[in-house]
């Protein structure tokens, strides 16, 4: 991405898959522990996130969990039931998400980059869709100016409201901000609002792109 005429002043980052290891790595390890066929898991979520659920006017469990409209235990029961129905896979619903999220691993390189960006005077924020998980918040006071968790604000990515909410907290315009996420549809939603989007694949490529955008080094 070419450098902008005016360097942005804010960096907004996702948590899972950006400040942690990738989602695929986490899911592979979790489904292996639970003896869940990963293809069945994807089948469940394709059904939940697909148009058929909307036609039936049923609540989308993923969206409801992320906005805090559905409790973690209720979601775990829904997921366990879906795995049983679609794949004849029996799992214990109690504590299912805790067992899943234990396979998220801290990514020290990306966390360090955000720390360094803030020390350089760049405003920083976390913008994350939560699954009721307990975030490891130690050190966040030194890392972020603002923290926006979907379940705490009743909004979720990629809805425009949560991006506007984050920008308002930082007191910056969309074009003054850079948003880093590992999901392309979240990046597109941010870009549609005028934010600068960076699709995170790995640390080196993200660091290099951010250095071009902000016109400074983050090593």
CB 53 within 8 A of CB 47: yes
Indicate if the alpha-carbon torsion angle 138, 139, 141, 144 is positive or negative: negative
Backbone angles phi, psi at 76, to 5 degrees: -60, -40
Fold of 10-21+105-214: Rossmann fold (3.40.50)
Q: What is the pLDDT of residue 79?
A: 94
Q: What is the pLDDT of residue 6?
A: 82
CA 17, CA 14: separation in Å to the nearest integer?
7
Question: Distance of alpha carbon 76 from its chain centroid, rounded?
Answer: 19
Question: Distance of alpha carbon 124 from its chain centroid, rounded?
Answer: 15
Residue 142: how many CA atoms within 13 Å on its side-chain side? 8
**Helix-then-strand count for the chain, H and E:** 12, 5
Residue 80: how many CA atoms within 13 Å on its side-chain side? 16
Q: What is the pLDDT of residue 3?
A: 45
Count of all residues that appear for the chain in the document: 219
Q: What region does 11 belong to: left with phi over 0, alpha with psi -120 to 50, or beta? A: beta
**Which structure tokens are listed for 80?**
């366990």
Architecture of domain 23-101: Orthogonal Bundle (1.10)
Indicate if the alpha-carbon torsion angle 214, 115, 181, 122 is positive or negative: negative
Task: Name the residue among 140, 116, 113 with its Cα closest to residue 126.
Answer: 140
- Domain ranges in the chain? 10-21+105-214, 23-101
Q: What is the pLDDT of residue 149?
A: 96
Q: What is the pLDDT of residue 57?
A: 46
List all residues 6 or more positions away from 107 whose beta carbon is below 8 Å from its beta carbon: 18, 19, 20, 21, 203
Task: Name the residue among 115, 127, 95, 110 with its Cα closest to residue 204.
Answer: 110
Q: What is the pLDDT of residue 58?
A: 59
3-state secondary structure of 12: strand
Q: What is the pLDDT of residue 154?
A: 95
List all residues 6 or more positions away from 167 whose beta carbon is below 8 Å from its beta carbon: 10, 173, 174, 177, 195
Per-residue confidence in pLDDT tens, the chain, 219 aa:
444 468 999 999 999 999 999 989 999 999 999 999 999 999 998 888 766 545 444 578 999 999 999 999 999 999 999 998 888 989 999 999 999 999 999 999 999 999 999 999 999 999 999 998 778 888 899 999 999 999 999 999 999 999 999 999 999 999 999 999 999 999 999 999 999 999 999 999 999 999 999 999 998
Q: What is the pLDDT of residue 51?
A: 64
Place of tokens 């005077």: 121
């Amino acid at each position: 991405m070419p450098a902008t005429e005016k360097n942005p002043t804010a960096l907004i980052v996702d948590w899972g898959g950006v400040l942690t290891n990738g989602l695929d790595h986490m899911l592979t390890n979790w489904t292996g522990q639970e003896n869940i066929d990963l293809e069945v898991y994807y089948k469940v979520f394709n059904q939940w996130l697909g148009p058929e659920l909307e036609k039936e006017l049923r609540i989308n469990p993923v969206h409801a969990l992320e906005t805090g409209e559905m409790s973690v235990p209720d979601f775990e029961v829904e997921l366990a039931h879906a795995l049983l129905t679609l794949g004849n896979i029996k799992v214990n619903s109690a504590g299912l998400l805790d067992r899943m999220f234990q396979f998220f691993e801290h990514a020290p390189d990306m966390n360090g980059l955000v720390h360094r960006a803030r020390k350089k005077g760049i405003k920083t924020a976390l913008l994350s869709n939560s699954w009721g998980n307990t975030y490891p918040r130690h050190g966040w006071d030194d890392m972020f100016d603002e923290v926006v968790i979907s379940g705490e604000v009743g909004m979720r990515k990629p809805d425009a409201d949560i991006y506007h909410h984050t920008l308002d907290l930082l007191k910056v315009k969309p074009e003054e901000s850079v948003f880093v996420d590992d999901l392309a549809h979240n990046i597109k939603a941010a870009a549609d609002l005028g934010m600068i989007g960076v699709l995170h694949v790995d640390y080196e490529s993200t660091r290099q792109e951010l250095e071009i955008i902000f016109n400074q080094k983050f090593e």
